[in-house]
Amino acid sequence: MKLFDEGIKITKEDILEFEEKLNTKFPEAYVDFLLESNGGTPEEDLAFDFIDIASNKKNSTDIREFYIFYPEGESSMMIL
C-alpha cells in the first residue's frame, strides 16, 4: 500500500513510551507499521466489510487516513 503524507520516522522507544502513557500494548503488526511509515494517507481509500457483533449485521467502511504519532517536542496532532 502506498501512503502519502507519512509521519516522521519514530523509534521503538518512542512507541514504548506512548504505550506506557496509554497503559496499553500495541499489536506487533501495528508497531511494525508505525516503524515503517508512521501513518499517512493511502493512495486510495481502503474499503472493507465487517460484522457488527452487537447487531450481527454486515457493515461497510473505509479508511482514508492512518494516525501519525510525533515524539514529544515536535509539532503534532498526537504527542508521544
User: Grid coordinates standing for 27?
Assistant: 499489536
Average pLDDT along the chain: 80
2-34 burial, b at 16+ Cβ within 10 Å, e below that, comes to ebeeebeebeeebbeebeeeeeeeeeeeeeebb
Kindly report the pTM of this predicted structure.
Answer: 0.65
Report d(CA 18, CA 14) in Å as an integer. Answer: 6
**pLDDT score of 13:** 92
> Quick one: pLDDT at residue 28?
95
Instruction: Output the pLDDT for position 48.
Output: 67
- pLDDT tens figures, 10-57: 999 999 988 998 899 999 999 998 998 888 888 776 676 778 788 888
